[in-house]
Structure 1
Amino acid sequence: MPIPPYVVHLRSMVGRELLWMPGVTAVVLRESRDGADEVLLVRRSDNGQWTPVTGIVDPGEEPHVTATREVEEEACVVAEVERLVWVSTSDVVTHQNGDLAQYLDHTFRCRWVSGDPRPGDDESTDARWFPLDALPDMRQLFRDRIAVAVDNPADVVLGPLTSGASRA
């Protein structure tokens, strides 16, 4: 997985210690030819799991820009952000190399503009559309992010869904 240069620099100073980082999840939706709603998912190369497109916000980059950039880089799809739907904090993640990180995630509902999904870099081994009623096996956290984006609440969800999430 490519590590942003600024994270490489931070790691040179803090080693594998916990880093707090801003992140995004782009839930890209489209209507299929038969009228069913579909979501874009990628199969991660580091753990083989299916997820919506995720990424780290670069210094000075707006999170919504990160979302569309990551979709194009990872899945070769052009998407447009419709709205921010959820802001949450991840659990501490131990990456395969032992680095610890925790993310402030910004989940965006996005709409497909163009492109056929395929892996665009070495972060993914597959990219494709899935019907919302036939999602592959994935972590509940990502199912929750998809559900919030599909429900398209009028307000942003703040905090975890399981503890009576508040709406902004």
Structure 2
Amino acid sequence: MLSNKMEEALNAQINAEFWSAYLYLSMSAWCAREGKPGMAHWFEVQFQEEQDHARILFNYVLQRGGRVELQPIAEVPTKWQSELDVFEATLKHEQHVTSLINNLYALTHQENDYATQSMLKWFVDEQVEEEENATNIIDNLKMLNGNGYGLFMMDKDLAARVYTQAAPLAGKA
């Protein structure tokens, strides 16, 4: 059974994950409009992953006998200045999500909630990967320094990203 404090915190994180999904869908739309279909696709996959993250938490709250309380999703940005700007915003956002996950993990210690702590370990590891991916793309964009052919090739590379359902959801409807 979840404590009230943990249940509230997990519900807030569910909302944050859905907000992240909405943000990445907005970034996908921006990239598509800018003629970068590969980057748009990369963000579509990111959108799907964030929905998975919300569903993992959603399922977990229910599994522990808690109540899921979905809240409205706040407005997200819709405009960026450049490809570099959109990926720098991605990294900044992922760093924010890392801090949210870290705060949840710290709360599990305060609440002596070892089951939730165990579940959150997957998210802690996932955030390392999320930040690394964004950083690598930013580094490549900076190296290209606006080179059109390089951007074209990078866009093609990002188009090859394949959505893989998050492991904690494997085999679940």
TM (normalized to structure 1)?
A: 0.29
Tell me which of the two structures has the higher relative contact order, counting C-alpha pairs closer than 8 angstroms and 6 or more residues apart. 2
Return the structure number with greater strand share.
1
TM (normalized to structure 2)?
A: 0.29
Return the structure number with greater helix share.
2
